[in-house]
Amino acid sequence: MKLGKSIGIIIGAGALILGSGMLSSCSQKPEYANEFRTATRAFYLWRCGMPVEDNYNGNHYYHDACHLDDGYSAYMDMDSVKLDPRLREAYDMGHDGTGGWHDAGDYGKYTVNAGITVGSLFYAWDHFGDKINKIALDLPETAPGYPEFLKEIKWETDFLLKMEYPDGTGRVAHKLTRVAFAPFIMPEEDDGKRYYTVWSSAATADYAAMMAMSARYFAPYDKPYAQKCYDAANRSYNFLLAHPEDKRHIQGDFETGAYGTSDPDDRLWAAAEMWETTGNDRILKNLEERIRNERDIVDNDWDWGNVANLGVYTYALSQREGRDPELLAKVKEAIIADADSLVARAARDEYGRAMQRFYWGCNGTAARQAINIHVADMISPNPAYKETIKGIAKYLLGNNVYGRSFVTGLGVNPPMHPHDRRSGADGIDDPWPGYLVGGGHSATDWVDDQEDYSRNEIAINWQAGLVYLLAATL
């Protein structure tokens, strides 16, 4: 199938809105414009496979092109993923997996974590594209004709296309990493062999969702590329339909991040994005069935392990016809009730944090809740939603029990020792700028300590929440 006319219509309307927004030039810079710019550029500074550099607060940050040998295939067809090293050599073939972003403070690349990241960034673009376009990101010209924000996402989707198996089945490798983590060295010095691991159904579903979104959002700027993304989404989606079992990732030889997760939420998200891109009624029926099966329609405490919200919000905000009106009303009601509960909790919290729990990466979730709240604001506008979102930004930038920002180079007394290999290895005192650290596991146990990766690492999924949050304040 070719990308239909219908998707042109959606995109056309989006472009119109965007156009009129840009006419009303605003003279006053939004409060967090600089924070938004720096947090978004942090993705560029995470790029793998090309040199990156930045001048920030008097420092020059730089690394050379890295991981140009990505990656090796020995594990791709091995369901038992403990390999005799001799066997590993015998089966190994190189196949291009260069590019994309490093995942975090480590240099691995993980499809599942790319999912929530790319999904959240496309949401930011969809919801705030006109405001984002007013802020110069000054990125290198790697995607001529694209708006800058999309240029950055394309650096990742170019890489993701290489995570799909070259055999045309539509299966997608779960990750591309070394067997063990690299020490604290610069990325271009990390020459340990990196492997694609065997496919998982969650990674395949997230890939289908990301590629379906790519087809929509890139189409106005690059039709052939949008078609390529659509074809990829379609291959993976059809593979999933033919293979309904939840195929989990198995770590085997690997000690790098697992991102092991069950797949129903990923499949729901894939169905939502495929429906939104194609308008296909059979896909809609499948999606609605999946939404009906959700225990809670909206999750207000979510991260890479549950991306159902992304599908539910796409469903709720769609301009397409044909949804079951009863289910749609129920979904919208759930979205508003969830946002209201976040607003109420933030109002009770001394620092305006809308989130209750503390755990590995909770700062990312705290930021990501801006999506829950803003989607409700799109459905049923309420000034309390905007206030709460601003309060979360203030919380992360220093209005908290530590009186310190959780974002490097920004806000009040920011972190100096994130668990980030570049920052630890480059000989510059100040860490690479614009990165959100994970946060404490209780209200008071966060420490600004490089060794403490479960409290002070940085990661693309958390960062995408921050970018969305800051975009929402523009």
State which residue, 414 or 424, has the beta carbon closest to ligand 9MR.
424
95 is catalytic: no
Tokens of 93: 């073939």
What is the closest distance, in whole angstroms, from the C-beta atom of residue 106 to ligand 9MR in the complex?
Answer: 3
- List 99, 170, 187, 257, residue binding ligand 9MR (CB under 6 A): 257
State which residue, 48 or 316, has the beta carbon closest to Zn ion.
48
Query: Taking a C-beta distance cutoff of 8 angstroms, is the pair 378, 332 a contact?
Result: no
Nearest C-alpha neighbor of 460 from the set 238, 257, 284, 310: 257
**105 contacts ligand 9MR (rule: CB under 6 A):** yes
Residue 440: which of ligand 9MR, Zn ion, none does it interact with, CB under 5 to 8 A by kind?
none
**187 contacts Zn ion (rule: CB under 5 A):** yes
Please report, for residues 73, 103, 164, 469, the alpha-carbon distance to residue 96 in angstroms, rounded to integers and kept in the order given: 10, 18, 11, 34
**258 contacts ligand 9MR (rule: CB under 6 A):** yes
Residue 331 in 3-state DSSP?
Answer: helix
448 is catalytic: yes
Determine the Cα–Cα distance for residues 203 and 331; give it in Å rounded to an integer. Answer: 26
**106 contacts ligand 9MR (rule: CB under 6 A):** yes
**48 contacts Zn ion (rule: CB under 5 A):** yes
**457 contacts ligand 9MR (rule: CB under 6 A):** yes
Nearest C-alpha neighbor of 214 from the set 150, 124, 259, 165: 150
For the chain, how many residues are written? 474
Catalytic residue among 190, 273, 448, 452: 448
- List 181, 254, 302, 313, residue binding ligand 9MR (CB under 6 A): 181
Catalytic residue among 103, 148, 419, 426: 419
Please report, for residues 104, 309, 343, 377, the alpha-carbon distance to residue 260 in angstroms, rounded to integers and kept in the order given: 17, 18, 31, 33
What is the closest distance, in whole angstroms, from the C-beta atom of residue 449 to ligand 9MR in the complex?
Answer: 12
Determine what percent of the chain falls in helix, strand and coil, rounding each to the nearest 5: 50, 5, 45
| Residue type at 188 in one-letter notation | E
Catalytic residue among 54, 70, 106, 148: 106
Q: Which stretch binds Zn ion (CB under 5 A): 17-25, 48-56, 110-118, 234-242?
A: 48-56
Query: Taking a C-beta distance cutoff of 8 angstroms, is the pair 392, 354 a contact?
Result: yes
Nearest C-alpha neighbor of 271 from the set 280, 282, 283, 281: 283
Query: Taking a C-beta distance cutoff of 8 angstroms, is the pair 124, 74 a contact?
Result: no
| Residue type at 32 in one-letter notation | Y
Residue 183 in 3-state DSSP?
Answer: coil
Residue 104: which of ligand 9MR, Zn ion, none does it interact with, CB under 5 to 8 A by kind?
ligand 9MR
Determine the Cα–Cα distance for residues 454 and 360; give it in Å rounded to an integer. Answer: 5
158 is catalytic: no
What is the closest distance, in whole angstroms, from the C-beta atom of residue 104 to ligand 9MR in the complex?
Answer: 3
| Residue type at 297 in one-letter notation | I
Residue number of the CB atom closest to Zn ion = 48
**104 contacts ligand 9MR (rule: CB under 6 A):** yes
- List 43, 46, 315, 453, residue binding ligand 9MR (CB under 6 A): 453
Q: Determine the size of the site formed for ligand 9MR (CB under 6 A).
A: 13
Q: Which stretch binds ligand 9MR (CB under 6 A): 103-111, 328-336, 341-349, 400-408?
A: 103-111
* Phi, then psi, of 150 in degrees rounded to 5: -70, -30
What is the closest distance, in whole angstroms, from the C-beta atom of residue 236 to ligand 9MR in the complex?
Answer: 23
266 is catalytic: no
| Residue that has been written with the tokens 């015998």 in this structure | 90
Please report, for residues 17, 166, 170, 245, 424, the alpha-carbon distance to residue 123 in angstroms, rounded to integers and kept in the order given: 16, 29, 25, 29, 32
- Tell me which residues in 50-109 interact with Zn ion (CB under 5 A): 66-67
Residue 66: which of Zn ion, ligand 9MR, none does it interact with, CB under 5 to 8 A by kind?
Zn ion
Q: State whether the Cα torsion 153-136-61-473 is positive or negative.
A: negative
Binding mask 287-306 for ligand 9MR (x = CB under 6 A): ----------------x---
Q: Which stretch binds ligand 9MR (CB under 6 A): 57-65, 99-107, 317-325, 463-471?
A: 99-107
What is the closest distance, in whole angstroms, from the C-beta atom of residue 32 to ligand 9MR in the complex?
Answer: 24
**Which H helix or E strand runs over 56?**
strand 52-56
Nearest C-alpha neighbor of 235 from the set 292, 166, 158, 143: 166
Residues that bind Zn ion (CB under 5 A): 48, 66-67, 187
Residues that bind ligand 9MR (CB under 6 A): 103-106, 181, 257-258, 303, 360-361, 453, 457, 459
Active site residues: 106, 419, 448, 457
